[in-house]
Amino acid sequence: MKDVVFTSCAFGPLYSRQQDRLKRSIQDLYPDANIRFWKSVKTHTELTPGEWPPGSKTHMDSMYGFKVHCVNNCLQDGFKKIIFLDPAVVLAPGLEQILENLSINGVMAGKDDTMLQGHISKSCLEWLGKTKEDIKHLTLVGGSVYLFDFNHPITYPFFRYWFKMEAEGVFGSQHECTWNGGEHGTWNDHRMDETCFSLCLDKFGLKPSPGMSSDHTNIGTQIGNENSVFHKFHFNEYRTIHEHTIREAIPPNSNILDLGCRNFGFTNYLRSKGHSVYPVDIGSPNEPGLINCDENAKEHEIVPGQDYYRIAISDKDGRCAVARNHDPNATHIMEGDEIPMMTVESFSKHVGVQEWDIIKMDIEGQELDILMNSKHPIAHQISVEFHTHCTPQTKETIDACLDHLQQWYYIDNVNWVSEHGCSENYWDILLINKSIYSSKKSSVVNYMWENNDISKCV
C-alpha cells in the first residue's frame, strides 16, 4: 500500500472519534499505510490551520467541499492513488482487488439507487445548462468512499471538473439548504458532493460501481454487503442502555449475556425486544435489586434463580468469595468458596449457547482478565466498563489490552473521562467483531471474487 494514501476530514467530537476508529482499522491491515487525515474537535463553522485541509471553506460555505481539498492536498503531496473515506467508515480485507479494478476505471464511487432527478438544486442545473429531463437517467452516488487513480488518463480532467464545481459554489452552502429548501425551492434536496460527483461520472462516460450501496443494509450502515471492503456505521445507530452502548443492528432472538446484571435495566430492555438474555451477578439474595435464588449449590453447579445466575465469570473455573463494601456497585470477587466461578467458554457450554450476539461486562475488575485470556472472538459485540477506580488496572494496561483485541474487534467509544464521581476511566468501550463484516460466505460474492469481478461487490 505504499503507493496509496487514505484521506479523511472530521469535525466535532463524535466524528473525530469515528475517524480514530477508521485510522485503527486501516493500520490494523496496513501498518505502514499513508494516512492524510484532518481533524478538528471544534464546530464546522471554524477553520483552524492544520485542522482542515488547506484551501477548504467552512462547511457552512461549501457543504462537504472539504472532500475535494482532502484529495487535492494528497495529489499535491505527490500521491497518485487516493482514497477518500468518511469518518464513519471502517476498512475490511480485500482492498487489493478493488485497486486492480480502480486502475482500469480511474475513478470509482458506489452507486446509490436513488434517482438524481429529485436531488439536484436549481442553481446546479443552471450551472450545467441542463434540465431535469436531461439527467433523469442518472442515480446518485454514495459519498462515503471516493477512489482515484491519477495514473489513468481520465482522472485528472475528471477531478479538475469536480474541483471547479466546488470552487464555484455548485456544491451549495448551508444558507441555501436552510433558507431555500422545499419541494419547489431552489434547493430541492440537493446532495452536494454526491450530486456533483454523479454528474462528473456521466460527463466522462463513467458509471457508479454497482454493489457499493450508500447507507442502507441490514448489518449497520454499510457499503456493499457483508463481504464488503468498506463498512459504515454512525454513532446514531447505537443505543445506550443503562450506561452501556450497543449497536442496534442485531438479529432477532439474539443471545445476550449480561455480566453484572444489578437492577436488570439492561436485561429487561433487551428481553422486551424479544431477545434471550442470560443475567449473571455475584450479589447475594438479600441485596436489593437482585431476585432470590438458591444458595445451596453444589460445587461447580449453577442454579438459576427467578431471574439471574449467581456466579462469577472470570478467566478460570473454580470458586470464589464476594468482597462487599458500603457501595453495592463496587462488589467484586476475591479468593474464597462462596459461589461458583466460570470462564465465558464454560458458562456458554453450561447454558447451551454456541454464539453470543452481545456480552455486556460491568463486573468490577474481572473484565481485563477475561478479555486478555479468552479465546476470541467471544461475541459479535462486547460492551465493557473498565474499573481503574477500584482495581489495580491502569490506563496503560487497558490500552495494551485494547491493542491486543484489535486483532478481532473494531473498538469504539475510546474515551478516557471522569464519570460517576470517580477518577478517569474507559467507562463505555464497545468492541465490534470484525468477522461479521468481512466473512466471504456468499456463493455469489465468492464467484465474483474468484473471477475478479470485484466492482459488483465492493
Cis peptide before 31 (omega within 30 of 0): no
**Residue length of the chain:** 458
Higher pLDDT, 302 or 50: 50
Q: Looking at the predicted structure, is the pLDDT value of residue 157 above 60?
A: yes
pLDDT band at residue 393 using 50, 70 and 90 as cut-offs: confident
Highest mean pLDDT among 265-279, 315-329, 383-397: 265-279
Which DSSP category does 188 fall into?
S
Q: 143 by DSSP, 3-state: which?
A: strand
pLDDT band at residue 300 using 50, 70 and 90 as cut-offs: very low
Residues 305-338 have pLDDT tens digits of: 447 888 899 989 999 888 776 555 566 777 888 8
Q: 337 by DSSP, 3-state: which?
A: strand
Residues 108-125 have pLDDT tens digits of: 998 888 888 888 888 899
How far apart, in whole angstroms, are the C-alpha atoms of residue 353 and residue 255?
Answer: 7
Average pLDDT over residues 85-100: 86
Residue with cell 443503562: 242
Q: Looking at the predicted structure, is the pLDDT value of residue 180 above 70?
A: no
Which residue from 371, 366, 396, 393 is spatially nearest to 382, judged by alpha carbons?
A: 371
Which residue from 118, 153, 146, 144 is spatially nearest to 132, judged by alpha carbons?
A: 118
The pLDDT score that the predictor gives to residue 226 is: 46
The pLDDT score that the predictor gives to residue 46 is: 64
Q: Return the domain boundaries, the chain.
A: 4-227, 236-438
pLDDT band at residue 450 using 50, 70 and 90 as cut-offs: very low
Average pLDDT over residues 283-291: 48
Q: For residue 339, give the H/E element and its range.
A: strand 332-342
Query: What's the whole-number average pLDDT of the chain?
Result: 79
> Considering the chain, what percentage of its residues have pLDDT values greater than 70?
78
For residue 384, what are the β-bridge partners? 361, 429
The per-residue DSSP string of 447-458 comes to: HHHHTT-GGG--
Residues 249-265 have pLDDT tens digits of: 788 899 999 998 877 88
* DSSP3 helix / strand / coil % (the chain, rounded to 5): 30, 25, 45
Q: 261 by DSSP, 3-state: which?
A: coil
Cis peptide before 377 (omega within 30 of 0): yes
Contact indicator for 94, 237 with CB cutoff of 8 Å: no
How far apart, in whole angstroms, are the C-alpha atoms of residue 45 and residue 139?
Answer: 30
Q: Domain 4-227: give its CATH code.
A: 3.90.550
The CATH class of the 236-438 domain is: alpha beta
CA 26 to chain CA centroid, nearest Å: 13
The pLDDT score that the predictor gives to residue 153 is: 96
All cell numbers assigned to 338: 462462596
Q: Looking at the predicted structure, is the pLDDT value of residue 190 above 70?
A: yes
The pLDDT score that the predictor gives to residue 395 is: 87
The pLDDT score that the predictor gives to residue 154 is: 96
The pLDDT score that the predictor gives to residue 440 is: 36
